């Protein structure tokens, strides 16, 4: 119960949830970028554990990250990408 009360108290602290969410996002962004990059399982593991995300950071410079952010945030781009992906998935299933 002590941990429950501690979490309840922390949640009431201003910006606590936003800060924890931002930390969580920073911990996970390389995983998403690695997946989007198309690295296979072994290259991803080598990059993550041995190279400390060197390949991901090299592949996604600031300009590419800003473009990716725009594609995700912009409703028109996001809808177009989703429609294209759904079409690819449906075409692949029909061909298989």
Please report which confidence band the pLDDT of residue 94 belongs to, taking 50, 70 and 90 as the band edges.
low
Same domain, 89 and 53: no
pLDDT confidence band for 91 (50 / 70 / 90): confident
Do 52 and 74 lie in one domain? The reply is no
Domain that holds residue 95: 61-96
**Residues 53, 65 share a domain:** no
Q: Retrieve residue 24's tokens.
A: 């969580």
75 and 94 co-located in one domain:
yes
- pLDDT tens digits, one per residue of 19-55: 999 999 999 998 899 999 999 999 999 999 999 989 9
**Helix/strand/coil for 39:** coil
Instruction: Let me know the angle formed at the C-alpha of 3 by 16 and 15, rounded to the nearest 5 degrees.
Output: 5
Number of structural domains found in the chain: 2
Question: 71: which residues sit within 8 A by CB, 6+ positions away?
Answer: 77, 78, 81
Tell me: do 49 and 93 sit in the same domain: no
The two tokens of residue 78 are 């996001």
Q: For the full predicted model, state whether its pTM sits above 0.75.
A: no
* Residue 48: closest CA among 24, 23, 27: 27
Do 41 and 82 reside in the same domain of the chain?
Answer: no
Do residue 39 and residue 13 come from a single domain? Answer: yes
Q: How far apart are CA 4 and CA 44, in angstroms?
A: 37
* Co-location of 8 and 38 in the same domain: yes
């Amino acid at each position: 119960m002590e941990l429950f009360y501690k979490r309840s108290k922390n949640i009431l602290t201003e910006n606590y949830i936003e800060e924890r969410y931002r930390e969580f996002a920073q911990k996970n962004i390389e995983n998403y970028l690695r997946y989007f990059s198309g690295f296979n399982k072994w290259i991803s593991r080598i990059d993550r554990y041995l190279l400390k995300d060197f390949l991901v950071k090299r592949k996604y410079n600031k300009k590419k990250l800003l473009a990716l952010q725009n594609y995700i945030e912009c409703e028109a781009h996001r809808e177009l990408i989703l429609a294209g992906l759904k079409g690819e998935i449906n075409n692949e299933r029909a061909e298989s």
